[in-house]
Amino acid sequence: MDFPRNIYIEAAKNEGHTSTFLENTLSYIDNLRSKNLPVIFSLKHFSILIGMELSDVIKIIQNRNNYYSYYLIKKKKGGLRRIVAPYKDLKFMQSWIKENILDNLEVHQLATGFIKKKSILNNAKNHENSDVILNLDLRNFFETINEKRVYGIFSSLGYSANLCVEFAKICTAQIPEDKYEIMSSEEQEYFEELYNLKESVLVQGAPTSPILSNLVCRRLDLRLSKLANKLVVNYSRYADDITFSGDRNNLPNIGILKKIIEDENLKINWDKVGKYKRGQRQIVTGLLIDGKVRVPKKFKKEIYRHLHFCSKYGAYSHFKRICPEKSYGKEWLLGKIYFVYSIEPEEAKKMLKIANSINWEI
């Protein structure tokens, strides 16, 4: 997004601005342009760039916690995940910030989650054929990143303090009391910890949260990768999943990792800490890495089982029997097959051959 620098200089001179004002403003402009970032002077300027009325932008920011829906979704491995999803106008503002500002920024090369052209396969390949792997999980990852830290990201880019405050508000949320009180008892149980934070944080559902989490973790990635290099082991991070691998005698001490992670204002989920030797079931971000990276047998067996029953009893009857809400059974199953294709294309081709022989209408 180019900025008409020469036109601005001419207009500023015509309006009688001082040379000091012009010098400071041009320094602000040139700093942002050097980073390939859009030049934005104020919230009013931002509203013009995104094509919204300033009054609407202000209203949304001031009442942002009421511009989210709060609900639970099922996790793949069981249990529920809390989602805080922005309404249309707030999501539009967040998406603009993501696409025009945040997507222009570099994250650490060993951060593999939420990044174009990187996947769980890229992450797992860092650790294949390892003697031992050490897996860690960061607890409540997004929710440990508060509004103040998000402000720091925008401030480090060179945006004005007032604008950084507004951007940080746009990208974070806090559950309002009235919304919490009307939740079901099950929802309150899952949202209680987030509600009790009493501060605005990154939330699952906002398009800006993934990239902001990677940007906040740049120093964590730098510190942990330096430690890994010193110990001659491998390191990578996929969102909240941290993995080290290498010789069993060289892996970092968990106490040192705890100190570094907590020093970065993050927390370890101790229920998901595990060390796995060669010969054991070594899994990194859901993929087996003992030997060539591949999809776990259980996952592939499940696909073949569904294909078998779809062929034998008909797809409609099968999905109606096992899970009535899976009205898009074909798309659901093909999604799993194409996931396998991204890791093991030859295995997936066998699955697709069976899938193509099924009459999905009956």
Distance CA(311)–CA(178), nearest Å, equals 50
State the pLDDT confidence band at 325, using cuts at 50, 70 and 90: low
**What whole-number distance in Å separates Cα of residue 347 and Cα of residue 340?**
7
Q: Which of 77-81, 129-133, 219-223 is predicted least confidently?
A: 77-81
CA angle 185, 190, 194 (to 5 degrees): 120
Predicted local distance difference test score (pLDDT) of residue 227: 98
pTM: 0.88
Of the candidate ranges 75-79, 125-129, 301-305, the one whose mean pLDDT is the lowest: 75-79
pLDDT tens, residue by residue, 76-90: 777 888 889 999 999
Evaluate whether 329 touches 318 at the Cβ level (below 8 Å): yes
Judged against a pLDDT cut of 80, whether residue 201 lies above it is answered with: yes
Average pLDDT, the chain: 92
Beta-sheet strand order (sheet of 132-137): 234-238, 241-246, 132-137, 274-277
Return the pLDDT at 284. Answer: 95
Mean pLDDT of 31-39: 94
Q: How confident is the model at residue 2 (pLDDT cuts 50, 70, 90)?
A: confident
Which pLDDT value is given to residue 43? Answer: 98
pLDDT of residue 14: 76
CA torsion angle 153 155 158 160 (round to 10):
140
Q: pLDDT-derived band of residue 17, with 50, 70 and 90 as boundaries?
A: confident
